[in-house]
Amino acid sequence: MKTEYIVYGLAKNETRDYMETILLTTTEQKHIEKVKELASVDGWHSFRVATFNGEAPNFANTLNI
């Protein structure tokens, strides 16, 4: 399975991190910078890129035990 890239960003004038919006999902890294460039023109900011390789989530790793 190919790695999937997920690009998140905050809308213009938004400062709350939990209000991120998914702007793109792709398997092509070359699309990431173009989307960030185009979104910036409309005021989007604070971009974050995550990867997904098809693995099942491990929720136990998210606990502070």
Q: What is the pLDDT of residue 44?
A: 98
47 part of a folded domain: no
Cα angle 56, 48, 16 (rounded to 5 degrees) comes to: 105
Q: What is the pLDDT of residue 6?
A: 96
30 part of a folded domain: yes
| Enclosing domain of residue 26 | 1-38
Mean pLDDT per 10-residue segment, the chain (65 residues): 93 96 96 97 97 84 70
State the DSSP string of 29-65. Answer: THHHHHHHHHHHHTT-EEEEEEEE-SPPP-GGGGS--
> Do residues 43 and 12 make contact, with C-beta atoms less than 8 angstroms apart?
yes
Residue where the block lists tokens 């136990």: 60
What is the number of structural domains in the chain? Answer: 1
Q: What is the pLDDT of residue 64?
A: 63
Q: What is the pLDDT of residue 65?
A: 57
The Cα 8–Cα 21 span in angstroms is: 5
24 part of a folded domain: yes
